[in-house]
Chains A and B, each alone.
Chain A
Amino acid sequence: MGRTADITAGLGGATPALRRYARALCAGAGQAIADDLVQSALQSVGARIRARELRPADLAEARIEAYATLVALAEKKLANAPGPASRHPPIVHGLAGLRFDERAVLLLVSLEGFGYDAASRIVGATREVALARLMRARAALGAEGSRPVAPLEGARRAASHLRVVK
């Protein structure tokens, strides 16, 4: 019992990373949609763990379940979601242009740092299929990611942040 409570409490620590992933997965569709997805995924996994439908061995397993639930929910929810606005950096437009299943794997590996085995478990595909999606995503994203525009915009945001503080 205590272990289950520890794991559900520990999942709270994964919330910032899940939000980052959800926001990227939504590719400009909106912050509210992304946060709703994270909330639904965390609640669903927490409930299934308490109901003993899921018995993750440790927090890492529970985290993989949370990402898997998020991906499954996002696929349905993003089917008719709006695309990115012009104010979004090119990398977000590039992501929005990818197929959902390719975007999901690319972000798991590139943004979240999952290994190929974990990423393929999360998207429910074999390692080979997941790797093929990753390769297609990188090829399709192409130069969008190489342009320094996105990091520069990030730096500009950070700089304006600093000015406010001072």
Chain B
Amino acid sequence: MTPSTLVEEADLHALVDGELDPERRRKVEDHLLQHPEDAALVEGWRRQNAALRAAFEPVALEPPPLSLREAAARPPAPPAGQGPVETGAIHWGRPGAAPHPARKLDDIRAARRRQALASTLLTLVAGAAVAVAALLFLASRPPAQDPTTRAIPATSYAARAGLTYVTYALDARPVEIDAARRGELLAWLQERVGFSRAPDLTGAGLRLLGGRVAPGVAAPAAFLVYERDDGARVGLYFERADAVAAPSGQRGQGVSVIEWRAGGFAFAFVGALPPDVMQAAAEAAAAAVVAAPSEAR
């Protein structure tokens, strides 16, 4: 190994934290392919990051308490020489300095009630929106829309692929077997799902992270996860099916699902990337899974 390709631990951290320029990044990624122990470190740190975000992101989604609204625009509460007011309630500033303190107090109380009411309503509306969105997503492919195809089970492949994507792709552990153990992954999928192919989508800017066996509509399904340089993830889902049909796209919840059938299997490409990127990647995947049939079975 020449000094220019020497990779230190700091480079591994910088890779995880997006602090490398593209050239150095490629070198470090090449290094990881040769050094699974370093790849495991990087994967572990990424999981740490995901676990931290999973544990604390809900805090950022809560509406801040009243005491924190506009805190930066208010003068600090405790006047010099007196202890800080640590009541957890609004810090009132200097109420005595106001010309009509009692009226101001009423105004502020009214404002607090309005804010509380607004935040309650907002929570209710957000909850209703989530419920409606979930229903829409689950009912996103009613069989009645396409009477020419044979009846599809209540849960369509696309809906199942979408659920699988939501369940696994954004999880701290998106895959069961990572791409470093590609052979093991493919053998497992062949055994459980009956088909195994992990299309190379680097042409579409997508790198294989790995895959897993997941519950399908009627049989065990395969779910492969790909990641773009900026961390966006998409999934390729496939399960044994009967009919053969051309790719068809649909969108819901910001996640697009492109479904097609080939060789007795239903495939669904799922992710939240722009439609043209999704289409190009799905076409690359569709071409790759039908190529070289000798490997397929």
Q: Which residues of chain A have a CB within 8 Å of any CB of chain B?
A: 5, 8-9, 11-12, 15-17, 19-20, 23-24, 32, 35-36, 38-40, 42-47, 49, 66, 89, 91-92, 95, 107, 109-111, 115-116, 131, 134-135, 138, 141-148, 150-151, 153-155, 157-158, 162, 164-166
Binds A, one of B48-56, B99-107, B248-256, B274-282: B48-56
What residues of B have a CB within 8 angstroms of the CB of A162 in the complex? Answer: 130-131, 134
Q: Once the chains bind, are A146 and B44 in contact (CB under 8 Å)?
A: yes
Q: B30 near A: Cβ within 8 Å?
A: no
Residue in contact with B72 in the complex, picked from A20, A42, A138, CB distance below 8 Å: A42
CB pair B48–A15 under 8 Å, yes or no, is no
Q: What's the minimum C-beta distance from A48 to chain B, rounded to whole angstroms? A: 10
Whether the Cβ atoms of A43 and B75 lie closer than 8 Å is yes
Asked if residues B69 and A43 are in contact (CB atoms below 8 Å), the reply is no
Top 6 closest A-B pairs, CB basis? A145-B48, A46-B72, A165-B127, A151-B54, A42-B71, A11-B72
A39 in contact with B67 given A46-B72, A110-B48, A146-B47 (CB within 8 Å): yes
Contact of A24 among B10, B14, B44, B52 (CB under 8 A): B52
Instruction: For the complex, give the distance between the alpha carbons of A17 and B75 in Å.
Output: 21
18 A-B residue pairings within 8 Å (CB atoms): A5-B73, A8-B73, A9-B72, A23-B59, A24-B56, A39-B68, A43-B71, A43-B75, A91-B51, A131-B13, A144-B48, A146-B44, A147-B51, A148-B171, A148-B172, A150-B55, A151-B51, A164-B127
Residues of B contacting A146 with CB < 8 Å?
44, 47-48, 51, 172
Q: Complex formed: what's the CA distance from A135 to B131 in Å?
A: 42
How far is B53's CA from A158's CA once the two chains are assembled, in angstroms? 14
A-B contact count (CB 8 A): 157
CA–CA, A24 and B60, complex, Å: 11
Q: Is A9 touching B73 in the complex (CB atoms < 8 A)?
A: yes
Cβ–Cβ contact A16 & B73, under 8 A: no
Q: Specify which of A12, A150, A157 is in contact with B51 (CB 8 Å cutoff).
A: A150
The interface of chain B, by Cβ under 8 A from chain A, is 9-10, 13-14, 17-19, 44-45, 47-62, 64-65, 67-77, 84, 86, 88, 91, 127-128, 130-131, 134, 171-173
Contact A154 B67 (CB under 8 A): no
A149 to B87, CA, bound (A): 35
Given contacts A15-B64, A131-B13, A150-B51, contact A145 B44 (CB under 8 A): yes
A151-B71 in contact (CB<8A): no
In the complex, the chain A residue whose C-beta lies closest to that of B49 is A110
Q: Is the CB of A44 within 8 A of B51?
A: no
Instruction: Find chain A residues with CB under 8 A from B127 CB.
Output: 164-165
